[in-house]
């Protein structure tokens, strides 16, 4: 019977049939599609890395390029995760069979358990260790236990400090075992019958930790092995069906075709430091995969060299493989940088410097007293005198920037070489076998909390590969400074071209205290040209005294600043203390009253701090032990009192202000406020002894020394406060050579985009015009020509033996500067060997500066300059059939 109930039943059947059909379609026919769509891991944002711009020399020779590399990656999905351990077992087998390395930038090491970070700075080590631990949640249990479950962002400053201290107490072994348990590594290895050795465990731990860390950025692929050979990549391609989640990617990789050549200029790149991720993320970097410049031109021009990453939004199947590209944005390559560097001159410079270092180490000694077995470091700079462009800048020992651009990461040997040197083992290998000597020269670095093994190189005995000795090392200039003293004395009129002085082999530096120069002997009557040729210390000390008598303590500095040897410390120009070079530099200072006051204030405060810490005054009077050092545990009140005391001590040194009652009151306030003195019973008489030590150190010795003339005497011969970089000295000599124009030093010639369009072109920029007459220049350059013996100035110049028979006339100045007069023999150090010069003498084109650490005498450094000239003037010299000492036609090794 067809009625309303039948109609209702039919309608219900139709509706349920439609609903059932739709459910069947959604759950069965299209079930997998919607399952993948619902799974957030099925959609991936793949970063397409932009190639970095090329870096080339002035002639277009590429010094830094990009090449494509084959990388093995793992994409985590629900399906691929089920067979992760068995998949990795097969992956590691293929890698091992083909002698490929697994990527390893994991800072937690085994055998022994330890952290290794890519830095040698104690503060950075602790910062990175804390970041490592917090990224992996080790703070959670401490917050729950000690801070009642507070969030870290809600902690006070002191609570955060306490949290950090607790985290740093966690041993590497504990951290390792906790992660192994958290990631289920032991169970996973047992399931595939792999031995649970520390080495095996760690291989799988690297991948599991990578998956965890990448999960914070959208489950990005984990790099397992990078820069594998094409043959290995094909093997993986053929076996992808049995390797769920594994893919072979092709990504650009930075390459330096000539290895170590010009590494001091180029610098290196590295993955983004965890502590810098927020900064770079805001700039659009993919902080999980992008590389950034860390030093050199790579860092200085990062914004220009780094292109714009592209990206692909893709859909992946249950095996983690791309099935559909949903959106694509092309990557844009970075700009190209052309340098002023001439790769041939750079190579010759490095070769000449390296040859001389090898020679000095092999002979072990030069002269009668200069030990050169530790001549392991040196620097050289070559500048175009008419533009300020750097033609070569070498710092040895150098490094291979390819070590850092390889995505596989540094090997343990490389990490130790660059960042974690084993000074104890190195000392023993260098013949320092007594443990007391090792402990004295390479003490445990107590600035790293909890550290009991890592040592520091207290007297800078061993070379630091990543340190740029050409731009960063501040060294006493020695006699290379004397041409400047000559210029100042002539220009100010305190000496004339005809003025002579009798060099008796010593000089009275005040009060009948004679400074003897036994190695030089008495040089007799000399004028300014002869004084430069023979390097007469008494002549220039006398000239310095005359300058001081006429113009005061800053009379020499005012001329030195014009040549880039320091800058007015009271200047408001933010670029005053700079040569202008694009890469990081230190900038040394010449002696001047303002800087000397600050330097003396710091030094004598340190002396007082040491006296009080040791409980003995500078006059051997027993003192109460008082701690003036800043401590993390100091209360604000204690910290404020210490600051007031130290500021008063500095003021006493600078200005001569002193009140014994004031100092007694301040120190009493400190011992009454700081709880560590509660039971010490420090008496009024003891506080008086402390005030007396301040009087002796800060007032009598510190302030009293400021008015003595010896500061100027020493400054006039390049000692005392005069400390400069090789780069500064090269620019100073270039300024003399070109007639007094000081140019901004620069490494970058131009920047072009990927199509070759010039987006930046550097032009020679004049920083200053020195007050130097033509007559003064002629006299000084005549003296410098006499030093090399190539300008008819005789054969007794300090570099004459080096340049004997050299067909191109040159000018220069040797220098020998002491590392430390009181301790250098005991700590295995020797004098710095300096040479500065220009060529050709009659029409200078280039200026050079060379320094060799522990090199003995400046005449040794002059040999490097000769090698540089052979490289720069090779065409002319070969036409003259001049026998070259170095192979200028050799090519840098790839």
pLDDT of residue 49: 75
Beta strands in 457-580 (DSSP E): 475-476, 501-503, 506-508, 514-516, 524-526
Q: Which residues pair with 66 in a beta bridge?
A: 254
Q: At what angle do helices 172-182 and 198-214 cross, to 10 degrees?
A: 70
- Cα-based angle 327, 240, 289 (whole degrees, multiple of 5): 50
Name the 3-class secondary structure at 68.
Answer: strand
3-state secondary structure 138-151: CHHHHHHHHCCCCC
Which among 552, 883, 267, 365 is positioned nearest to 544, based on CA atoms? 552
**Closest CA relative to residue 532, chosen from 785, 723, 348:** 785
Given CA atoms 738, 740, 746, 750 in this order, what sign does their dihedral have? negative
For 225, the token pair is 């092995």
Three-state SS string over 258-269 comes to CCCCCHHHHCCE
Per DSSP, the three-state class of 229 is coil
Digit-coded pLDDT (tens) for 308-344: 877 666 676 666 666 666 677 777 889 999 999 999 9
| Sequence-ordered list of residues with C-beta below 8 angstroms from that of 488, at least 6 positions apart, any chain | 543, 547, 555, 556, 558, 559, 560
Nearest to 605 by CA among 548, 553, 652, 675: 652
478/816 Cα distance (integer angstroms): 5
Q: In the CATH hierarchy, which fold is given to the domain comprising 42-113+171-339? A: Penicillin-binding protein 2a (Domain 2) (3.90.1310)
State residue 287's pLDDT score. Answer: 82
Q: Where are the domains of the chain?
A: 4-38, 42-113+171-339, 594-706
- Residue 539 to residues 482, 497, 745, Cα–Cα distance (Å): 10, 13, 32
In the sheet with 322-329, reading across from the earlier edge strand, the strands are 43-48, 310-316, 322-329
Nearest to 204 by CA among 100, 74, 111: 74
Instruction: Count CB atoms within 10 A of the CB of residue 818.
Output: 14
| DSSP per position, 449-477 | TT-SS-B--TT--S--TTS-HHHH--EE-
> Which residue stretches of the chain have pLDDT < 70?
1-12, 15-48, 216-219, 311-314, 316-326, 791-795, 888-894
Cα–Cα dist 478/469, whole Å: 17
Q: Is the dihedral of CA 690, 696, 701, 704 positive or negative?
A: positive
Cα–Cα dist 56/710, whole Å: 49
Q: Which residues contact 515 (CB under 8 A, 6 or more apart)?
A: 506, 507, 508, 509, 537, 541, 713
**Could you write out the three-class secondary structure of 806-817?**
CCCCCEEEEEEE
CA dihedral 734, 737, 741, 742 (to 10 degrees): 20
* Cβ 257 vs Cβ 57: under 8 Å: no
The span from the CA of 424 to the CA of 443, in Å, is 9
Structure tokens at 600: 């003396």
- 378-384 β-sheet, strand order: 390-396, 378-384, 846-852, 832-839, 811-817
Mark out the alpha helices in 615-706 (DSSP H runs). 636-655, 660-673, 684-694, 704-706
Q: Please classify residue 821 by burial: count the beta carbons closer than 10 Å to its beta carbon, then call 0-12 exposed, 13-18 middle and 19+ buried.
A: exposed
Q: How many CB atoms lie within 10 A of CB 355?
A: 15
Look up the pTM and report it: 0.89
pLDDT at 894: 44
- Decide: 542 and 507 in contact? Cβ < 8 Å: yes
Torsion 337-341-343-349 (CA) sign: negative
Looking at the DSSP bridge assignments, the partners of residue 814 are 835
CA-based nearest residue to 119, from 586, 471, 467: 467
18 φ/ψ sector (left φ>0, alpha ψ -120 to 50, else beta): alpha
Q: Are strands 378-384 and 390-396 parallel, antiparallel or unpaired?
A: antiparallel
**pLDDT score recorded for residue 273:** 85
Does residue 258 contact residue 894 with C-beta atoms inside 8 Å? yes
3-state secondary structure labels for all residues of 357-414 = HHHHHHHCEECCCEECCCCCCEEEEEEECCCCEEEEEEEECCCCCHHHHCCCCCCHHH
**What is the C-alpha separation between 455 and 708, in angstroms, rounded?**
40
**How far from the centroid of its chain's Cα atoms is residue 739's Cα?**
34
The answer to whether the CB of 93 falls within 8 A of the CB of 262 is: no
The Cα–Cα gap between 226 and 368 comes to 54
Burial class of residue 157 (count of CB atoms within 10 Å of its CB; 0-12, 13-18, 19+): exposed
CA 615/CA 56 separation, integer angstroms: 59
* CA triple 718-723-728, angle to 5 deg: 100
Unique residue bearing structure tokens 């130290």? 646
Helix (H) or strand (E) run with residue 351 in it: helix 343-363
Strands 378-384 and 501-503: unpaired
């Amino acid at each position: 019977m067809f009625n309303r109930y039948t109609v209702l039943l039919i309608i219900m059947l139709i509706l349920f049939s439609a609903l059932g059909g739709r459910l069947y379609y959604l759950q069965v026919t299209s079930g997998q599609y919607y399952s993948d769509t619902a799974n957030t891991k099925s959609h991936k944002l793949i970063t397409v890395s932009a190639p970095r711009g090329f870096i080339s020399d002035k002639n277009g020779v590429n010094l830094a390029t990009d090449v494509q590399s084959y990388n093995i990656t793992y994409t985590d999905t629900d399906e691929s995760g089920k067979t992760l351990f068995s998949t990795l077992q097969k992956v590691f087998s293929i890698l091992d069979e083909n002698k490929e390395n697994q990527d390893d930038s994991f800072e937690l090491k085994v055998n022994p358990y330890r952290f290794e970070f890519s830095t040698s700075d104690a503060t950075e080590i602790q910062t990175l260790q804390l970041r490592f631990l917090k990224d992996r949640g080790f703070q959670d249990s401490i917050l729950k236990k000690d801070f009642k479950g507070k969030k870290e962002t809600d902690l006070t400053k002191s609570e955060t400090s306490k949290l950090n201290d607790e985290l740093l107490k966690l041993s590497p072994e504990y951290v390792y075992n906790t992660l192994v348990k958290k990631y289920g590594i032991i169970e996973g290895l047992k399931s595939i019958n792999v031995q649970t050795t520390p080495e095996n465990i760690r291989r799988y731990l690297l991948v599991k930790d990578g998956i965890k860390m990448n999960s914070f950025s959208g489950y990005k692929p984990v790099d397992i092995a990078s820069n594998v050979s094409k043959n290995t990549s094909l093997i993986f391609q053929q076996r992808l069906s049995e390797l769920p989640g594994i893919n072979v990617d092709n990504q650009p990789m930075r390459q330096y075709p000539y290895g170590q050549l010009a590494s001091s200029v180029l610098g290196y790149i590295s993955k983004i430091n965890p502590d810098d991720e927020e900064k770079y993320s805001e700039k659009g970097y993919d902080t999980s995969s992008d590389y950034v410049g860390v030093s050199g031109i790579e860092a200085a021009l990062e914004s220009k060299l780094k292109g714009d990453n592209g990206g692909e939004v893709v859909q992946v199947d249950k095996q983690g493989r791309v099935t559909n590209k949903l959106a694509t944005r092309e990557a844009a390559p970075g700009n190209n940088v052309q340098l002023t560097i001439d790769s041939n001159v750079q190579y010759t410079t490095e070769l000449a410097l390296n040859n001389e270092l090898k020679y000095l180490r092999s002979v072990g000694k030069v002269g009668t007293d200069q030990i050169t077995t530790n001549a392991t470091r040196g620097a050289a700079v070559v500048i175009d005198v008419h533009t300020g462009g750097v033609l070569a800048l070498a710092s040895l020992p150098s490094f291979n920037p390819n070590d850092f651009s390889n995505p596989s990461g540094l090997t343990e040997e490389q990490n130790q070489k660059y960042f974690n040197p084993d000074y104890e083992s190195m000392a023993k290998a260098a013949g320092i076998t007594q443990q007391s000597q090792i402990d004295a020269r390479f003490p445990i670095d107590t600035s790293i909390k909890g550290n009991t093994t890592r040592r520091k190189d207290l007297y800078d005995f061993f070379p630091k590969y990543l340190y740029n000795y050409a731009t960063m090392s501040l060294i006493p200039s020695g006699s290379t400074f004397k041409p400047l003293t000559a210029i100042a004395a002539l220009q100010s009129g305190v000496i004339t071209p005809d003025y002579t002085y009798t060099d008796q082999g010593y000089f009275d530096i005040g009060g009948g205290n004679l400074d003897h120069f036994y190695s030089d002997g008495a040089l007799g009557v000399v004028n300014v040209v002869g004084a430069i040729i023979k390097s007469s210390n008494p002549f220039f000390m006398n000239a310095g005294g005359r300058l001081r008598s006429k113009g005061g303590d800053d009379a020499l500095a005012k001329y030195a600043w014009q040549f880039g040897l320091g800058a007015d410390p009271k200047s408001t120009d933010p670029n005053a203390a700079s040569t202008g070079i694009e890469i990081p530099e230190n900038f040394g200072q010449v002696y001047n009253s303002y800087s000397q006051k600050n330097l003396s204030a710091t030094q004598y405060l340190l002396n007082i701090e040491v006296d009080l810490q040791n409980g003995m005054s500078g006059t051997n009077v027993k003192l109460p032990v008082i701690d003036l050092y800043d401590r993390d545990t100091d209360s604000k009140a204690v910290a404020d009192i210490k600051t007031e005391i130290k500021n008063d001590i500095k003021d006493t040194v600078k200005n001569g202000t002193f009140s014994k009652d004031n100092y007694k009151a301040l120190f009493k306030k400190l011992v009454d406020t700081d709880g560590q003195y509660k039971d010490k019973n420090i008496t009024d008489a003891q506080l008086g002894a402390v005030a007396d030590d301040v009087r002796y150190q800060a007032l009598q010795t510190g302030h009293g020394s400021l008015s003595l003339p010896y500061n100027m005497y020493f400054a006039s011969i390049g000692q005392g406060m005069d400390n400069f970089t090789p780069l500064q000295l090269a620019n100073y000599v270039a300024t003399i050579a070109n007639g007094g124009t000081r140019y901004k030093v620069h490494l970058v010639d131009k920047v072009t985009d990927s199509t070759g369009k010039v987006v930046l072109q550097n032009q020679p920029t004049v920083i200053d015009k020195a007050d130097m007459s033509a007559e003064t220049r002629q006299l000084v350059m005549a003296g410098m020509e006499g030093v090399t013996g190539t300008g008819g100035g005789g054969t007794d110049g300090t570099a004459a033996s080096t340049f004997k028979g050299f067909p191109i006339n040159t000018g220069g100045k040797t220098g020998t500067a002491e590392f430390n007069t009181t301790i250098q023999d005991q700590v295995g150090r020797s004098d710095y060997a300096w040479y500065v010069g220009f060529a050709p003498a009659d029409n200078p084109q280039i200026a050079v500066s060379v320094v060799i650490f522990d090199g003995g005498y400046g005449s040794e450094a002059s040999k490097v300059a000769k090698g540089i000239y052979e490289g720069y003037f090779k065409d002319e010299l070969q036409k003259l059939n001049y026998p070259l000492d170095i192979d200028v036609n050799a090519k840098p090794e790839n």
